[in-house]
Amino acid sequence: MVTVPVAAEWFLRDHIVALKERYDVYLASNLTDEKEVERLDLTGWHKIDIQREISLTHDLKTLWQTYRYFRRMKFDAIHSVTPKAGLIAALAGWLAGIKHRTHIFTGQVWATRQGVMRALLKAIDKMIARLDNHLMTDSKAQRAFLVKEGVLKEGQAMVFANGSINGVNAERFVPDERIRQDMRSEIGIAEGTLCFIFVGRLNHDKGIGELYAAFDRLASEVSDVFLLLVGWDEGNYIGKLPAYSHIETGRNFHYYGFTTEPERVLNAGDVFVLPTYREGFSSSLLEAACVGMPCISTDVYGVQDAYVVGETGLQCEVGDAETLYQCMRKMYDDRALVRRMGEKARERALRDFNVRDITAGWMGFYQEILH
């Protein structure tokens, strides 16, 4: 169960394909059309009217829908991803008497919140941890954070292989010069230009404001740089572009929007930038590494395991455009460093985060609890 079907497509596809060889696999989510999940080859799917925002009336309705679905289907096991789906699935699964209830933590919304909202969102994670009888985190650093915060007990959650919810598909994310040239030509990135790329939701917590400020300064100093943003614009950041006089669409900036083929768009970039305030184990950072890109990111727990500072990427401070600019300038000034770190990043992604190892962990887990 996930809140939006694209989460299953992005994070669970390889696991679902493997699990389908032994089990019937269903998806419950806020989906309306089988085309949204056709590549998952599911046994079946069911629409649950679930929303990310908190609404007591609507969430109680969603809980009732989910409970009835679970009672009717009599599943052997349920597995939830994302916070709201985790809470609804945990409550409905417990009420419906589902024997095996699993949730995987992939980053905490409350990590950057304060006051009452932080306490409420943290309490939701604590409730999930108490209602479900199997728990996972997508990185060791995240597990340590949740133990420190009192959400999990020591040894309560599993981490498969070296972490990540899905690892990286080495057959899909491949450096390809032909695709690179096609994508850069389509977007309008001139030869020899250093392209910084971001893939994800455009919002405050991803550090898009700092990315704009840092790139605006760099673009005021040099002309052969480009910023490519890929993903949903949740925070209306495209509308904020006029405030940055050195960022100009068509000249050194392009907003690509959402894509179902990140492997193609990533090939257009040279340096992956993720100045995030909070994160689960960043899948996009691993995918960028697998196509041979170094990164610039922060030291928040969700990315600590995803790159090696000074070897596969550079580190900036959270919420600090100055250190982000310094990292971007260093990458611009030293193209040999970009190539060297990119090679190391790809080697590490292939060695430590191959999707096959994560999928094997999921398969082993379900074979153990269901047989």
Model pLDDT, residue 36: 79
Q: What angle do CA 123, 26, 201 make, to 5 degrees?
A: 55
Model pLDDT, residue 162: 87
Residue 154: pLDDT above 90? yes
Which segments within 93-156 are labelled E, that is strand? Answer: 100-105, 134-137
Q: How do residues 22-75 score in pLDDT, each as one tens digit?
A: 999 999 999 887 777 887 889 999 999 998 888 889 999 999 999 999 999 999
Query: What are the counts of helices (DSSP H) followed by strands (DSSP E) for the chain?
Result: 14, 12
Query: Which of these CATH numbers, 3.40.50.2000, 3.40.50.300, 3.40.50.2300, 3.30.43.10, describes 5-167+355-370?
Result: 3.40.50.2000
Q: How do residues 239-285 score in pLDDT, each as one tens digit?
A: 999 999 999 999 999 999 999 899 999 999 999 999 999 887 888 99
Residue 315: pLDDT above 80? yes
Residue 223: pLDDT above 90? yes
Same topology, domains 5-167+355-370 and 177-352? Answer is yes
Residue 84: pLDDT above 80? yes
Placement of tokens 């079946």 in the chain:
44
Exposed e or buried b per residue across 196-232, where buried means at least 16 C-beta atoms within 10 angstroms of its C-beta: bbbbbebbebbbbbbbbbbbbbbbeeeeebbbbbbbe
Model pLDDT, residue 86: 95
Residue 164: pLDDT above 90? no
Residue 331: pLDDT above 80? yes
| pLDDT band for position 134 (cuts 50, 70, 90) | very high
Q: Considering the chain, what percentage of its residues have pLDDT values greater than 70?
A: 100
Q: Where are the alpha helices (DSSP H) in 159-229?
A: 177-187, 208-221
Model pLDDT, residue 100: 98
Query: Which of these CATH numbers, 3.40.50.360, 3.40.50.620, 3.40.50.2000, 3.40.50.720, describes 177-352?
Result: 3.40.50.2000
pTM of the model: 0.83
Model pLDDT, residue 214: 98
Spans of all domains in the chain = 5-167+355-370, 177-352
Where on the phi/psi map is residue 107: left (φ > 0), alpha (ψ -120 to 50), or beta? left
| pLDDT band for position 11 (cuts 50, 70, 90) | confident
Distance (Å, rounded) from C-alpha 177 to C-alpha 362?
Answer: 34
Model pLDDT, residue 109: 84
Q: Considering the chain, what percentage of its residues have pLDDT values greater than 90?
A: 80
Model pLDDT, residue 10: 81
Sign of the torsion formed by the C-alpha atoms of 299, 286, 308 and 339: negative
Residue 108: pLDDT above 90? no
Mean pLDDT, the chain, integer:
94
Residue 329: pLDDT above 90? yes
Model pLDDT, residue 248: 97
Lowest mean pLDDT among 27-41, 72-86, 161-175, 208-222: 27-41
